[in-house]
Amino acid sequence: MAKRKVLKELFGWVIAIIVPVILVFTLNLLVFTISGVRQESMENTLKEGDIVYYSRLSSGIDKLKRGDIILFLAHGREKAGFFDELSIKIDDFKDIITGKGSTTKRYVKRIIGIPGDMIDIREDGSVYINGEKENKAYVKGLTPPGKMKYPLEVPEDQLFVMGDNRGVSSDSRDYGCISINSVEGKAVFILWPPSKVGSIK
């Protein structure tokens, strides 16, 4: 009788631990992701050490727009469906358990061009989007053209992205447009540090 009581109590503890873990894992897989900033390419909007909440529900090609900040998989990696998402999340979980640090590389950048947009970056550092000169308060420094040839039309289902800290950012100017299937989420608000908690503009 005492053994059964102990087993019942142990089972209760296991359920109390496992259910929340599964719930958080599922929400993190389908609804949101949280990631720390490890680059200086988004200064002064986001700085190294900032922790950001990204919405996965706002990351479709029909929901993203110019000016949005996104988290995406690096080096051309894409997600072909749910099982790819699951595989990436399992890899992340393994990295946390083993303490290796993330082996799945991600970048944080701002969307400058959506499908069909014409991007032109000139030698003087000025940026033109569909013939209109960019004039945004979040841009830090001049914008070197990088390795791409301009004018450049953003292909279907792809995005042209750049960091706000234009002089140090490696982005679409170097490796071209990114696939919408590499996007993991849209930045919604900053969770840390306390002095910066709030929605991202």
Structure confidence by residue, pLDDT tens digits, 78-105 = 887 777 777 777 777 777 677 666 667 8
Stretch (H or E) spanning 92 = helix 82-98
Determine the average pLDDT of the residues in 155-173: 96
Per-residue model confidence (pLDDT) at position 27: 62
Domain spans of the chain, in order of start: 31-76+105-192
CA distances from 98 to 35, 89, 95, 103 (A): 18, 14, 5, 11
Per-residue model confidence (pLDDT) at position 57: 85
Measured torsion, CA atoms of residues 14, 23, 74, 58, in degrees rounded to the nearest 10: -170
Structure confidence by residue, pLDDT tens digits, 57-83 = 877 777 899 999 999 999 888 887 777
31-76+105-192 has CATH 2.20.25.10 classification = no
Residue 3 has pLDDT above 80, yes or no: no
Q: Is 96 helix (H, G, I), strand (E, B) or coil?
A: helix
Determine the average pLDDT of the residues in 39-48: 94
The residues, ordered by sequence, that sit 6+ positions from 84 with a Cβ below 8 Å of its Cβ are 78
Structure confidence by residue, pLDDT tens digits, 119-136 = 999 999 999 999 999 999
C-alpha to C-alpha distance for 99 and 94, rounded to whole angstroms: 8
Confidence bin at 30 (pLDDT 50/70/90): low
Per-residue model confidence (pLDDT) at position 26: 65
Proportion of the chain above pLDDT 90, given as a percent: 58
